[in-house]
Amino acid sequence: MQYVIPVITLIVGLVGGFFIGVFYLRKQMEKMQSDPQMLQKMAKQMGYNLNNRQMQKAQQMMKNNPQLTSKKGGGKRK
């Protein structure tokens, strides 16, 4: 009985942390769509150096892909 509360607390914390992380990541992705400097910064952190044409293409891909920032989640791909 003494292990029940810590286990439940751990599970609730993990689930809550997951949903907070997903919410934060979606907000960041939405910001990147409208802020090319933020997208450039992320690309440099990943080791890529994008030129202007590649930046425009990346922004266009993010705008055309509703799965990245949709409110209902990704779902299955066909």
Reported as a pLDDT band with limits 50, 70 and 90, residue 78 is very low
Nearest to 59 by CA among 26, 35, 38, 33: 33
Residue 32 CA to residue 39 CA, distance in Å, equals: 5
Report yes or no: 10 and 49 within 8 Å, Cβ to Cβ: no
Rounded Cα–Cα distance for residues 4 and 48 (Å)? 47
Which pTM does this prediction carry? 0.52
Does residue 69 lie in a domain region? no
Q: Domain containing 24: what range?
A: 4-64
Structural domain includes residue 28: yes
Is 15 part of any domain? yes
Tally the domains of the chain. Answer: 1
- Write phi, then psi, for 36 (nearest 5 degrees): -65, -30
pLDDT digits (tens, 9 = 90+) for 54-73: 888 887 887 777 665 455 54
The answer as to whether 74 is a domain residue is no
